[in-house]
Amino acid sequence: MRKSLSYPLEVEYNQMTNADGSLSAQTVVDQKDLKNEVNRVAGLEVLSVRSSNHVSSQDTLSFSAAGVRIGNTGNSSQTCVTRDTRGSCYSRALTSIDSVLTAYKDGAACHPDWE
């Protein structure tokens, strides 16, 4: 069996201070959990499984000039996919706004062209 793992992570942080001393801090995060597993018998591939878990989030925190947190806004999405060479596939996509689940969809990534 051969297994490869990858965990790419991108983080962006922006802070803006206003003339009145209040500020907002925006964080954008994009993270993936990628796995590829190949099973062989006598050198022949018998099963290959690819999995992907991708989370993308954005959040903005607002603070008064006194440093008191005023509020926050944000959104997030997550897509999980596992697919193998035997034709099995699992896929679920989730979306949220301000920490509330707003949508989900099953099977969207289960098509022949998925990579």
Average pLDDT of the chain, as a whole number: 93
| Integer Cα distance of 6 and 89 in angstroms | 20
- Look at residue 109 in the predicted model and tell me its pLDDT: 86
| Integer Cα distance of 16 and 27 in angstroms | 12
pTM: 0.82
Residue-range domain boundaries for the chain: 2-106
CA 100 and chain centroid, separation: 16
- Over residues 28-65, the pLDDT tens digits come to 999 999 999 999 998 888 999 999 999 999 999 999 99
Strand locations in 18-112 (E)? 23-41, 44-63, 69-84, 89-97, 100-106
